[in-house]
A and B are shown apart, each in its own frame.
Chain A
Amino acid sequence: MTDRARIVFWRLVILVLLLGSWEGLTRIKAVSKTPGLYWLDPFFISRPSAIVERFVYLASDKVRLSIWQMALSTVQSTLWGFVVGVSTGFVVGLVLGRNDRLARIFEPYIVAFNSLPRIALVPLITMIFGFGIAAKIVLAWTIVFFIVFFNTFQGARSVDPDLIHAARFLGASERQIMRTVVVPSALAWTFASLTPSISFALIGVVVGEFLGGESGGGLGFLIIQSLGTLNAADMMVALIALGVIGIVMALGIRQVETRLLRWPTASRSGALRESATRRSSSCSCWASPACGSRGRSGCRAPARRRSCRSRRSGSPRGPSGRSRARSRCTPAGCRATSRRSSRRSRSAAA
């Protein structure tokens, strides 16, 4: 058996064990003076067979709003929030990243808005945009925008000045520099933020659906509805569906990422790789609101950075020396050298 097959085998074993004991323990009556008690109470966590049963029912046309329609609504709003958030975040990140004065003017507002827990915005957004799909998209947007913004911002800021010089010597105008140097090198950072972005878009949408009511639809609505009817099985159906959607979308994004960002990485010197793993756990960028405080993996840097600047070295090689609190978002930027180390720090950031 190959290594891969063995890993798959054990995964399956665990899955079967989990499902089996779930099903079993919710069927075995506990020995107790109180009658009707189970080892695990199916009232709270349902049981696999009941979930499958409910899924078949919810997927049939016996219900007014089938699970497919709900899933579609959720996916649609997520993708819309994602697309709008990524495009606006990218543009604003690029503009502020290349314009130091603007960045300093906007800094407090961006930090303040980003520090606001998005959930607190849900009622307000619902009040403004109503109980439909728009509120969900806006909510997803408020989260995705900042993730993409901070990454692109850092990316635009840490463009290797020597590449810009080189372009200038080859006769590039400012616009050409933007197009051929800044955008491609910032893109690597932007792409790194796409996978968390899609997950957070989904979170935003589901939270929006909690409040959105039936007109907004979606799996979040199914969850809240099941809470109202104390139906654990329906809730489980919605949760599993959300999990599947999340995985599929994240995989899809990764596909797009590798397809678009197709210049290969070179593994660099050993020293770089070592520093990459050493520093990978700390993640700070522009006053670190995106990641530090709330454990958001907002600040993820591309796996393809070439150069690595230590925050501690205190010698930013950026276009102009900005040394203040705006520490360079290198930790993730340095991790870089190998796919494995990048994956490790991804989980560290999450």
Chain B
Amino acid sequence: MLDQQFVAIVGPSGCGKSTILNMIAGLIAPTSGRIDVDGQPVAGVPRAVGYVFQKDTVFPWRTVRRNIALGLEYRGAPAAEQERRVREAIALAGLEGFEDAFPATLSGGMRQRVALMRTLVIEPEILLMDEPFGALDTHTKLGLHAELLSLWEAKHQTVVFVTHDLGEAITLADRIVVMTRRPGRIKMLYDVKLPRPRDPIRLRETAEYAREYGEVWHVLGEEFRG
């Protein structure tokens, strides 16, 4: 897995996509073998990793502003810096006007945006995303794809993105890891040959997208057929 690459993992449910992510994150230890991040074996939760969960993990008792500030607060960043970076993040995510709103009053897409910005504001070198848009409707999802792409193209973190949506994987990733059914193994590594910057909506109309989708789908489909 390469530095600064956007990698997506796809595969049938239960094949261990999230488990891989959790192992990289140091949440669970591999039963055998070893996982290295930056050449070091993973032990515990590393500092340089950001994790965006599928589930909504925005703290309901904190406003948008204070949710995004969490990571900076934990790290003891000075108040002025906190404020500045949170303001930037809010502008970046298009959440202006909702700074003092509580998460319960926001839509699912907005909450996930808060969760994403909360992670990005601490500038992780590695970003792990576990079906972050899985619970959202297609429309909201496409909007967030565009946002994620532009954010990523600006910063180029290493991203590992777990999804069950192949379209999402092709839209976002440089490289796709296709997993087999349980017991999950890596079936194929596929490099997406779509130019960047990508427009997630226009992209889906192109012949290249259809071709890439077809190729990966053929492999993935075998897993679904059973």
Contacts from A to B (Cβ < 8 Å): 160, 162-163, 165-173, 176, 180-181, 184-185, 187, 263-266, 304, 306
In the complex, the answer to whether A266 meets B105 with C-beta atoms within 8 Å is yes
CB of B124 to closest CB in A, whole Å: 8
Contact A169 B50 (CB under 8 A): yes
Contact call B51/A184, Cβ cutoff below 8 A: no
Q: Among the listed B55, B60, B70, B102, which residue makes an inter-chain contact with A167, where contact means beta carbons less than 8 Å apart?
A: B70
Beta-carbon contact of B60 and A263 below 8 Å: yes
Q: Indicate if the CB atoms of B27 and A165 lie closer than 8 Å.
A: yes
**B25 CB contact (under 8 Å) in A160, A169, A263, A306:** A169
Residues of A within 8 A of B71 (CB): 170-171
Q: Which residues of A contact B104 (CB under 8 A)?
A: 263-266
**Is residue B202 within 8 Å, beta carbon to beta carbon, of the partner chain?**
no
Give the distance in Å from the alpha carbon of A304 to the alpha carbon of B70 in the complex: 22
> Inside 8 A of A176's CB, which chain B residues have their CB?
73-74
Once A173-B74, A176-B74, A184-B61 are accepted as A-B contacts, the answer to whether A162 and B55 lie under 8 Å apart by CB is yes
With an 8 A cutoff between CB atoms, is B84 at the interface? no
Contact, CB under 8 Å: A162 / B122 = no
CB-based contact B102/A171 at 8 Å: no
State whether A163 and B45 are in contact (beta carbons under 8 Å apart), knowing that A170-B122, A264-B102 are contacts in the complex.
no
Give the shortest distance, in Å, between A131 (CB) and chain B (any CB).
Answer: 45
Q: Is B140 an interface residue (CB 8 A)?
A: no
> Are the C-beta atoms of B49 and A169 separated by less than 8 Å?
yes
Query: With a CB–CB cut-off of 8 A, which chain B residues contact A167?
Result: 70, 74
Contact of A163 among B59, B118, B122 (CB under 8 A): B59
- A-facing residues in B24-83 (Cβ within 8 Å): 25, 27, 45, 47, 49-51, 53, 55, 57, 59-62, 70-71, 73-75
Q: For B119, list chain A residues within 8 Å (CB).
A: 169-170
7 new A-B pairs (CB below 8 Å) besides A169-B50, A304-B60?
A166-B51, A166-B57, A168-B45, A169-B119, A171-B74, A181-B59, A306-B60
Chain B's nearest CB lies how many Å from the CB of A65?
Answer: 46
A171 and B51 contact, CB distance less than 8 A? no
Cross-interface CB contact of B45 among A169, A180, A184, A266, cutoff 8 Å? A169
B77 → A minimal CB distance (Å): 10
Could you list 24 A-B pairs, sorted by A, with CB under 8 Å? A162-B57, A165-B27, A165-B51, A166-B57, A167-B74, A168-B45, A169-B50, A169-B119, A170-B50, A170-B71, A170-B74, A170-B118, A170-B122, A171-B71, A171-B75, A172-B70, A176-B74, A180-B73, A184-B61, A263-B62, A263-B104, A264-B102, A264-B105, A266-B105
Contacts of B55 in A (CB 8 A): 162
Question: What 0/1 pattern do residues 96 to 127 of B give for CB contact below 8 A with A?
Answer: 00000011110000000001001100100000
A263 and B49 contact, CB distance less than 8 A: no
Asked if B51 and A172 make an inter-chain contact with CB atoms under 8 angstroms apart, the answer reads no
Interface centre among B25, B59, B62 (most CB of A within 10 A): B59
Cβ A171 vs Cβ B47 within 8 A: yes
Name the residue on B nearest A184 (C-beta): B61
Residues of B within 8 A of A166 (CB): 51, 53, 57, 115
How far apart are B64's CB and chain A's nearest CB, in angstroms?
12
Lowest 3 CB-CB distances: which A-B pairs, in order?
A266-B104, A170-B71, A166-B57
Whole-angstrom CA separation of A180 from B47 in the bound complex: 19
Q: How far is the CA of A184 from the CA of B51 in the complex (A)?
A: 22
CA distance A167 to B62 in the complex (A): 13
Closest residue of chain B to A307, judged by CB?
B55
* Given known A-B contacts A170-B118, A264-B104, A180 and B25 have beta carbons under 8 A apart: no
Residues on A with C-beta less than 8 A from B102 are 263-264
Q: Roughly how many angstroms separate A263 CA and B45 CA in the complex, as a whole number? A: 30
Chain A residues with Cβ below 8 Å from B61 are 184-185, 187, 263
A169, B51: Cβ atoms under 8 Å? yes
Chain A residues near B45: list those with CB within 8 A.
168-169
Instruction: Please indicate the chain A residues that have their CB under 8 angstroms from the CB of B122 in the complex.
Output: 170-171
Partner of B70, one of A180, A187, A306: A180
Complex Cα gap A168–B50 (Å): 10
CB-nearest residue of chain B to A171:
B74
Residue of A nearest to B50 (CB): A169
Q: How far is the CB of A241 from chain B (nearest CB, A)?
A: 38
Query: Bound state CA distance, A306 and B59, in angstroms?
Result: 11
| Pair B74/A184 contact, Cβ less than 8 Å | no
Give min CB distance, B138 to chain A, whole Å: 19
CB distance from B22 to the nearest CB of A (A): 9
- In whole angstroms, what is the CA distance A163 to B58 when docked? 8
